[in-house]
Structure 1
């Protein structure tokens, strides 16, 4: 049996490695080079260079957004590994705790997608060919994450140990 049966294969690669890296990277970019002004400019695709200076409140909001990205990356990285390491012989327990985290992240994904889409100017909403990598990250990539979370809950490509089991089966496995 795998060391993390509740998070096998592609799910493990995506949620334990790719997603944490993809959420920690924006924080690093915001706090270093190219910086908060660049990130602010990239949120909505626009021609021209980013401003070099942001108003203090805007800069603070972008830095705090970077902190949220960092938090999400650390939670999925550290908490998922803690679940794996603390419950090695308990796949139902792993799945129950992992599922709580994935549900919270799925809700955040849905609201993030909607907020990002609504925030786009009308001329860009239905033109993904005009989106920049940041916009695709905020919408396209987050849609992929949400679809993988839904697939995980549906048991696609994995054995279910807790979710999708009857109450009597759950009691036996935890």
Structure 2
């Protein structure tokens, strides 16, 4: 199905998003203390020692990394194997809803002042808020049919015509 998506959303959903998810997973797996510390946009001094977190925080952070890895696998599996537009649409709809909650939860934790202080964002905040908002807007544009003939409405119309033709035959 990935080949049926228009070029821009295909690159975003099948290449950039999986790379982003793998990056999040690796950050949590390789240096869990850094991953935990980097969740807020507050800069930490490179001269200060990284805080060692308790086992609960480490497990939660590593499980979050595992969830990123799972989402990467699911996205690749769905977008590279199915030929059904309904499956792709439902996957992208679920991801669209998750984009909203991901940005909302991050901004809620950061608070209003840090959420709008874009100049102070670190790489993690750019990923959690900036890149996720980009994914949300790209999914929204695809749902609205802004990428041309590969959008859901046109594809559903083509599927309907194919089904009609099969019934007549």
Give the TM bin, normalised by the shorter chain: 0.7 to 0.9
Task: Using structure 2 for the length normalisation, give the TM-score.
Answer: 0.85
- Structure 2: which 5+ residue stretches go unaligned? 164-169
> Does the 8 Å contact 1:37/1:50 carry over to 2?
no
Structure 1 Cα separation of the partners of residues 94 and 50 of structure 2: 35
Residue deviations 1:93-134 (CA, integer Å, cap 9, x gap): 3x2211000000000000001111111044312201001010
- Residues 1:27 and 2:16 aligned together: no
Task: Select the residue among 88, 94, 104 that pairs with 1:98.
Answer: 88
4+ residue runs over 4 A deviation: 167-170
Provide the secondary structure at the position in 1 that maps to 2:153. Answer: coil
Task: Using structure 1 for the length normalisation, give the TM-score.
Answer: 0.83
- Structure 1: which 5+ residue stretches go unaligned? 88-92
* Deviates further, 46-55 or 150-159: 46-55
Structure 2 Cα separation of the partners of residues 146 and 3 of structure 1: 18
The alignment of Structure 1 onto Structure 2 pairs a total of residues equal to 160
Structure 2 Cα separation of the partners of residues 44 and 15 of structure 1: 26
Question: Deviation at 1:74?
Answer: 1.1
> Does the 8 Å contact 1:41/1:50 carry over to 2?
no
Structure 1 Cα separation of the partners of residues 130 and 21 of structure 2: 14
